[in-house]
Amino acid sequence: MHTLRYMGSKLALVDIIAPIVHEYAAGRGVVDLMAGTHAIGYALKPHARVWANDVQHYSQVIGQALLGPCKLAPGQLVHQLAREYLARQRKGFFEEVYSNTYFSPEQCRDIDAIRTAIMALDPPVQPLCLTALMAAMSYCQSTPGHFAQFLPREHRRVQALRRLRLLDVFRHKIEELEEGLVEGKGENTISGVAAEEFSIPQAAGVGYLDPPYTGDQYSRFYHLLETVVLNDSPAVKHKARYRQDRFRSNFCYPSRVEEAFLRILSVWAKADLPLVISYSARGLLPLDRLHSLARSHYHRVRQRNIDRRHSSMGKGEKPVREVVIIASQSRLQSRLNTNR
């Protein structure tokens, strides 16, 4: 299920990663510790109970929409309510703060109108509508592919984007999401704590960890999604108008990343449960060191290499090697090939 453009999304790697995680779950539940846009959790939804966790509120909303019970969103009603809001000519937070930055003034008005309309809906259908709104924002944004910076309105790349009616894109995204929703195997759970603080559910069978690879904080690249989900009016600073209460992940600091990995490895090893880790050969923590940490807690550590071309969000593509590290206490012989 594609929702929005997202750094490090595992959507293109679902066919590789999801079978590994599912196999090591051994018929029990799956914990996605840093779920992002929930590519892996959604792929496993028909096959296993999923606990999806992410400290970012926008990720939690996407998880509620994709992993919860399938619900049809009243897209036509939202469209009608939004148009009524626009007719009153009220100026909302996005129009006041973000006009001619990430969006045109008209698109900002649409965002304010849609967000206000969603608030009038019953809570159970709000996550799907909010996910469609985030998808529309991702589609229309005048940026290199994220919200850490915006391109000037005169830039040739954004002219066509500025002419898009975000309200119409939103309605199309709702239809797209509804068409793709699948039923789950069990009652899934969405939580919002730092991965290092997550308490393992008794019915879990495997953990999946997909942390940031670099010093780039996701709260900086997706701050607008956090704001539209929280529906608040945060203090903003700098040219990019970032929220000042952004979460900072320990995995994005060279001085903290090793301890962050150690805390998670220790908890999952103590529970005698396997841990599957997605990482990069160019990650802040060298792979040899990550293997050493894993071996200090697990009897068996293996690695699957994935060579691919990775989008640089506006700077073209570059070859990268991503890895899947499988740490387990047993000597379960996986049917999947590994390189190490």
Phi, psi of 124 (to 5 degrees): -60, -25
Residue 4: pLDDT band (50, 70, 90) is: very high
Per-residue model confidence (pLDDT) at position 336: 47
Question: CB neighbours (10 Å) of residue 299?
Answer: 11
d(CA 96, CA 112): 10
Domain 11-59+185-212+249-328, what fold? Rossmann fold (3.40.50)
Q: Which of 47-51, 152-156, 222-226 has the least mean pLDDT?
A: 152-156
pTM metric for this prediction: 0.92
How much is the average pLDDT of 225-237?
95
Q: In the predicted model, is pLDDT for residue 154 greater than 90?
A: no
Task: Name which of 211-220, 226-235, 303-312 the model is least confident about.
Answer: 303-312
Q: Where are the domains of the chain?
A: 11-59+185-212+249-328, 75-180
Per-residue pLDDT of 155-200, as tens digits, reads: 888 888 999 999 999 999 999 998 889 999 889 999 999 999 999 9
- Flag whether pLDDT at 62 surpasses 70: yes
152 burial level (CB within 10 Å; 0-12, 13-18, 19+): exposed
28-42: pLDDT as tens digits: 999 999 999 999 999
pLDDT at 203: 96
Q: Residue 153: pLDDT above 90?
A: no
Which range has the worst mean pLDDT, 40-54, 73-87, 91-105, 244-258? 73-87
Contact criterion met (CB below 8 Å) for 217 and 252: yes
pLDDT class for 315, splitting at 50, 70, 90? Answer: low
What pLDDT, on the 0 to 100 scale, is given for residue 278? 97
Q: CA dist 13 to 39, 234, 305, Å?
A: 9, 35, 12
- Segment among 65-69, 218-222, 313-317, 335-339 with least mean pLDDT: 335-339
Cα separation of 268 and 249, whole Å? 20
Query: Per-residue confidence at 292, pLDDT binned at 50, 70, 90?
Result: very high
Cα separation, 262 vs 104, in Å, equals: 45
Tell me the sheet residues that pair with 187: none
Of 202 and 145, the one with more pLDDT:
202
Cα–Cα distance for residue pair 110/117, rounded to 1 Å: 10
Which of 33-37, 95-99, 139-143, 152-156 has the lowest average pLDDT?
A: 152-156
Q: What average pLDDT does range 316-325 have in this prediction?
A: 84
Percent of the chain residues past pLDDT 70, beyond the cut: 94
Would you say residue 10 has pLDDT above 60?
yes
Tokens of 73: 């969103």
Give DSSP secondary structure letters for 156-194.
Answer: GGGHHHHTS-HHHHHHHHHHHHHHH----SS--EEE-S-
